């Protein structure tokens, strides 16, 4: 099934952008490798690894360039984007933006969910990430992201340890307690 999805995508790539067969084959092979960690359709089932499905185009392209250039250092991804062309990054991005984000969350904790909803609203996260948190341009989708990854990345931003990342986030989270971050992560992970 997954092979079919990637093969269909590769075919569409050749038809729409006049890409060569070998280019399309290279992209398909890459996407399969990425899928081992990020999930075959971009919805990650692995702790600490973010979902890429349904992310805004600009966010994904920017992050991949940052990772390729070593500006955002991700040890787990060492070498994965080495020498990958801009054209390939654009094609890989097309695969993930066209794959719907599916929440990987477990059962909902009602009081934690509601607490997270209130804090996210009061902290105006939606002014950048959009009111339904699906992101736009360079601002990532945070709805339906993995709960553990949301918590991990917010902790990084809050403690100014998010090396190579846009620190516009740190101010939004300044002074929040760990319980606040846990509530936000729980809430956002449950959204679609």
For the chain, give the number of residues: 192
**In this chain, which of 71, 124, 131, 178 binds ligand HEC, going by CB under 6 A?**
124
Q: Does position 191 bind ligand HEC by CB under 6 A?
A: no
Tell me the closest approach of the beta carbon of residue 151 to ligand HEC, in angstroms: 8
Closest to ligand HEC by CB, 17 vs 26, is: 26
Binding to ligand HEC by residue 53, rule CB under 6 A? no
Residue 82 CB, shortest distance to ligand HEC, in Å, is 10
| Pick 118 or 168: Cβ nearer ligand HEC | 168
Binding flag, residue 173, ligand HEC (CB under 6 A): yes
Q: Determine if 17 is a binding residue for ligand HEC (CB under 6 A).
A: no
Q: Are the C-beta atoms of 189 and 104 separated by less than 8 Å?
A: yes
Residue 50 within binding range of ligand HEC, rule CB under 6 A: yes
Pick from 156, 143, 152: nearest CA to 116: 143
Does 189 sit near ligand HEC (CB under 6 A)? no
* 34: CB partners within 8 A, 6+ apart: 52, 80, 92
- Cα–Cα distances in angstroms (integers) from residue 184 to residues 26, 108, 162, 163, in the given order: 38, 13, 18, 22
Closest listed residue to residue 138, CA positions, set 151, 146, 128, 147: 128
Alpha-carbon separation of residue 100 from 45, 117, 139, 190 (angstroms): 15, 23, 17, 15
Instruction: Give the Cα separation of 80 and 32 in Å (integer).
Output: 12
Q: Is 87 in the site for ligand HEC (CB under 6 A)?
A: no
Q: How many C-beta neighbours within 10 Å does residue 49 have?
A: 18
Residue 58 contacts ligand HEC per CB under 6 A: no
Q: Does 117 bind ligand HEC (CB under 6 A)?
A: no
Nearest approach, Cβ of residue 105 and ligand HEC (Å): 14
> Which residues of this chain interact with ligand HEC, rule CB under 6 A?
30, 33-34, 36-38, 48-50, 52, 60, 63-64, 74, 76-77, 80-81, 92, 120, 123-125, 127-129, 138-140, 142, 145, 150, 153-154, 165-166, 168-169, 172-173, 184
């Amino acid at each position: 099934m997954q092979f079919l999805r990637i093969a269909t995508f590769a075919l569409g790539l050749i038809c729409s952008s006049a890409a060569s067969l070998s280019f399309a084959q290279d992209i398909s092979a890459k996407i399969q490798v990425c899928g081992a960690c990020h999930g075959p359709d971009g919805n990650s089932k692995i702790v600490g690894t973010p979902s890429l499905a349904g992310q805004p185009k600009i966010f994904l392209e920017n992050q991949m360039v940052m990772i390729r250039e070593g500006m955002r250092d991700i040890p787990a991804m060492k070498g994965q984007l080495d020498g990958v062309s801009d054209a390939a990054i654009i094609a890989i991005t097309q695969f993930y933006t066209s794959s719907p984000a599916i929440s990987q969350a477990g059962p909902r904790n009602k009081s934690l969910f509601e607490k997270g909803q209130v804090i996210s609203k009061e902290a105006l996260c939606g002014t950048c990430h959009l009111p339904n948190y699906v992101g736009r341009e360079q601002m990532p989708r945070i709805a339906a992201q993995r709960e553990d990854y949301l918590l991990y990345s917010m902790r990084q931003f809050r403690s100014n340890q998010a090396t190579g990342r846009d620190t516009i986030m740190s101010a939004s989270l300044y002074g929040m307690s760990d319980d606040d971050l846990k509530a936000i992560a729980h809430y956002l992970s449950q959204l679609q």
